[in-house]
Amino acid sequence: MKDGDCLFCKIIAEEIPADVIFDRGGVIAFRDVNPQAPLHALVVPKDHVRDAAAVDASHGSLLVELIGAANEIAEADGVDASGYRLVLNVGADAGQTVFHLHLHVIGGRPMAWPPG
Ligand code: 5GP
Ligand code: ZN
């Protein structure tokens, strides 16, 4: 299901260009337009899901696909050994700006914890 006002639905529909690096099954991944590290990709379900708070038991296999894609991207970009961070921002305090579920895959440099 597509949301006509959603930026990432438009990327999935190829109405807006993106640097797509993974496309298999129910998920697609593309590089973030404003990367925060040498690797910064976003893995998204092709069907519109608002955010992680909207995930329920019906999304079980989708979550496996999302994380599996993230792991493959990390390996393809050569950060699987050095490490990487997987992030789901939910809501205002977390800084969520796009309301289509997306898993950030960030790597290629050391990162601090906790995040700012
Ligand atoms: P959020 O803050 O919602 O977790 O993350 C949204 C991410 O989407 C941000 O890292 C932002 O840079 C990225 N983004 C926003 N607009 C676009 C776009 O048009 N293309 C791509 N590739 N990334 C985008
Ligand atoms: Zn969407």
pLDDT digits (tens, 9 = 90+) for 1-31: 567 799 999 999 999 999 999 999 999 999 9
Token readout for 14 is: 């190829």
Strands (E), 7-109: 20-24, 27-31, 39-45, 84-87, 103-107
User: Which of these, 62, 61, 69, lies nearest to 86 by C-alpha position?
Assistant: 69
Q: Answer whether 98 contacts ligand 1 (Cβ < 6 A).
A: yes
For residue 87, report the distance from its CA to the centre of ligand 1, in Å.
13
- Render each residue's pLDDT in the chain as its tens digit; 116 residues: 567 799 999 999 999 999 999 999 999 999 999 999 999 999 999 999 999 999 999 999 999 999 999 999 999 999 999 999 999 999 999 999 999 999 999 999 999 999 98
Helix or strand or coil: residue 69? helix
Q: Answer whether 93 contacts ligand 1 (Cβ < 6 A).
A: no
- CA angle at residue 56 from 16 to 32, to 5 degrees? 30
Q: Are 21 and 69 in contact (CB under 8 A)?
A: no
pLDDT for res 116: 82
What residues have their beta carbon closer than 5 A to ion ligand 2?
Answer: 3, 6, 8-9, 48, 100
Which domains, ranges and CATH numbers included, belong to the chain?
Answer: 7-107 (3.30.428.10)
